[in-house]
Each structure stands twice: as C-alpha cells, then as structure tokens.
C-alpha cells in the first residue's frame, strides 16, 4: 500500500466483528487485511491451517479452521466469533473453489458438479443460516456473499457447476436481503470480475492466449487486484452502504456493460 492510500483508508469498522471465510488467500486475505485496517476484529476462517493462521496473525485476529461445507464447523465458527468479541456484525462468506474438472457440461462428471455446489453454494447457505440469528438479536448486520460476474453473464469458456453455484449465491443473497431488510440486516452478493490472483497469473503465464481471450472483453484492459475487491467489501460492510441491500454488486472493470471495448 502506498503512503497516500494508507492515509486515505478510513476507520469505518472500529469495534465491529467480521467473519471472513477463505481468509488464507486471494480476495479473502486482502479483505481480512482491509477490514482489520478499518478497525474490525477479524475472524479468519479457512480449511488451510497454515494460510489461515498466518492471515489471522498478520491482522491481529483469530483463526478458526473450518470446512465451510460442514454445518457443525460453520456453527462453531460464528459462535467463536461471538464468544471472542461479543458480536457478529459482518459475515463475508467468500470461500470457494474453481477446480479444473469443472468444465463444459458435456465433460463434467456428477462428482465434480456436486463438490463445487457444496463448497461454493451450500457453504453460503450454512454461513448465512449460522450468522443470521446473531444479527437478528443485535438488530443489525451486513452479510456479503461472494458470487461472480459469471452469475450475470454467459461464457463460452464454461465451468458449468461454478457458474450455476454463483447464480445460486446471487439469488439466495437477494432473497435474504429482502426477507431481513426490516430487521436491520443487509445481504448483498458481491460479483467480482476476474482477479489477478497467483493462481490466475500462473495459469495465464503458461497460456497467454487464454489470458488474451478474456482481457479483450474488459473495458479496463486488465484484471482486478484483490485489494480493489476488498475495498468494495469494506464499503458493503460499513454504514456507508446503509441503503444497499439485496443487490448484485458488480466490481468488474466494466465487463457487464460492454459491447465493444477500447483498443
């Protein structure tokens, strides 16, 4: 972070408790850092013990090892957040996978389909179900569920279960946002465009044509930085977004608005 960026970071989340799933890497890690820098107590949840612990140590938070597909572990995660810090104000339900055996519908097997649905969609159902009762008792809370721009747009480079799972996250978030709006709880689906994660970099370094095929559709002409997605999460988590709920919150560099992109 540059000095200028550091100076401009606000402290909108002082005293709030945030649970971040998938906090060990990528968008989750960048978000754990951002929420902590804005003053939140951050509970870093990840199935990967080494990465999750490192994230929690870095942000001065608490690590909970959890497989987000397991109902009991997810309940224990939110209970730990409440028992440690006294509230559950923000749930960033973000852990997800995008495995190579999830591809065209013609070649994707039922096992791969089911695994992606479990990790990307069932997990969000479990996390929302566990977080909501705390937020109902508090009369406030912000839930941000990570969907994707592919929930809104079709791709010829299909990952069929991934896309369907993110469509589910989007519809579920909208419904919860509507259902709990009068209880002070906001629920939004975050829809990032492609993010410049280490995994993506490695994949595209090996196969530049694959990167070019995607980049041509992005008006901004580049992939997002994880910190840019984290900034949107911090906004949705804070009272600055107090009238935003049940939304499909796109952070996509203009992809979803584009027909012809600049040369």
Ligand X SMILES: NC(=O)c1ccc[n+]([C@@H]2O[C@H](COP(=O)([O-])OP(=O)(O)OC[C@H]3O[C@@H](n4cnc5c(N)ncnc54)[C@H](O)[C@@H]3O)[C@@H](O)[C@H]2O)c1
Active site residue 134: no
Count of positions on this chain that bind ligand X (CB under 6 A)? 28
Instruction: Pick the closer one to ligand X by CB: 177 or 194.
Output: 194
According to the binding rule CB under 6 A, does residue 98 interact with ligand X?
yes
In the chain the beta strands, taken as DSSP E runs, fall at 17-21, 41-46, 62-65, 90-93, 141-146, 185-192, 248-251
Stretch that binds ligand X, among 88-96, 127-135, 153-161, 181-189 (CB under 6 A): 88-96
Q: Which residue of 43, 112, 116, 195 would you call a contact of ligand X, by CB under 6 A?
A: 195
Indicate which single residue of 20, 42, 44, 68 sits in contact with ligand X (rule: CB under 6 A).
68
For the chain, report the end-to-end CA distance as a whole number of angstroms: 30
235 within 8 A of 9, measured Cβ to Cβ: no
Backbone angles phi, psi at 238, to 5 degrees: -90, 170
Spatial separation of the C-alpha atoms in residues 134 and 142, rounded to whole Å: 11
Task: Tally helices (H) and strands (E) across the chain.
Answer: 10, 7
3-state secondary structure 11-60: CCCCCCEEEEECCCCHHHHHHHHHHHHCCCEEEEEECCHHHHHHHHHHHC
To ligand X, the closest distance from the beta carbon of 108 in angstroms equals: 16
- The residue annotated as part of the active site, out of 85, 125, 134, 162, is 162
Could you tell me the two tokens for 157?
Answer: 């480079």
Choosing from 37, 41, 94, 241, the residue that interacts with ligand X (CB under 6 A) is 94
x/- map, 5-44, ligand X, by CB under 6 A = ----------------xx-xxxxx----------------
CA 101/CA 78 separation, integer angstroms: 32
Contact with ligand X (CB under 6 A) among 19, 32, 47, 250:
47
**Closest approach of Cβ 137 to ligand X, in Å?**
26
- Which stretches of the chain bind ligand X, using CB under 6 A? 21-22, 24-28, 46-48, 51, 66-69, 94-98, 119, 146, 148, 192, 194-195, 197, 200
């Amino acid at each position: 972070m540059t000095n200028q960026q550091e100076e401009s970071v606000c402290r909108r989340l002082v005293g709030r408790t945030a649970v971040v799933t998938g906090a060990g890497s990528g968008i989750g890690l960048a978000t754990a850092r951002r929420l902590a820098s804005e003053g939140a107590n951050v509970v870093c949840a990840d199935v990967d013990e080494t990465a999750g612990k490192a994230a929690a140590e870095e942000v001065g938070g608490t690590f909970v090892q959890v497989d987000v597909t397991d109902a009991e572990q997810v309940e224990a995660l939110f209970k730990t957040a409440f028992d440690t810090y006294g509230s559950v104000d923000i749930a960033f339900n973000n852990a997800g996978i995008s495995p190579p055996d999830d591809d065209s519908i013609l070649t994707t097997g039922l096992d791969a389909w089911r695994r992606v649905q479990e990790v990307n969609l069932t997990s969000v159902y479990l996390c929302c179900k566990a977080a909501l009762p705390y937020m109902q008792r508090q009369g406030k809370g912000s839930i941000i569920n990570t969907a994707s721009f592919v929930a809104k747009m079709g791709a010829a480079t299909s990952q069929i279960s991934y896309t369907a799972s993110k469509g589910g996250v989007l519809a579920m978030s909208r419904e919860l946002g509507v259902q709990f709006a009068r209880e002070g709880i906001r629920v939004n689906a975050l829809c990032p465009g492609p993010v410049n994660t280490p995994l993506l970099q490695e994949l595209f370094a090996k196969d530049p044509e694959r990167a070019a095929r995607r980049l041509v559709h992005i008006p901004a002409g580049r992939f997002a930085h994880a910190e840019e997605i984290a900034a949107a999460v911090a906004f949705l988590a804070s009272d600055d977004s107090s009238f935003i709920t049940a939304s499909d919150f796109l952070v996509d560099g203009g992809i979803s608005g584009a027909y012809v992109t600049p040369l």
